[in-house]
Amino acid sequence: MTTSITVSLPVDMKDALEDLARKEGVKAEHVVGQAIKEHLFLRQFRLLRDRMSAQARGQGDITDQDVFDSVS
């Protein structure tokens, strides 16, 4: 199921989007959808990492090496 939203872009960004879509042979909507999907994934990953980092610090794990040593 899909739904629509309206997004306003500066002219130069819209032109770049359309140019990229044309070069990739896809619709601009596809490029926007993929960009949002990737952005949401990264945001969720960062939130999880921040939460897990806080827990690790609470257990005395400060560096990546500390975490590696704890799980090894």
pTM above 0.85, yes or no: no
How far from 23 is each of 16, 19, 36, 39, CA to CA, in Å? 10, 6, 19, 22
Chain position carrying tokens 């140019």: 19
13-53 pLDDT, tens digit per residue, is: 999 999 999 999 999 999 999 999 999 999 999 999 888 88
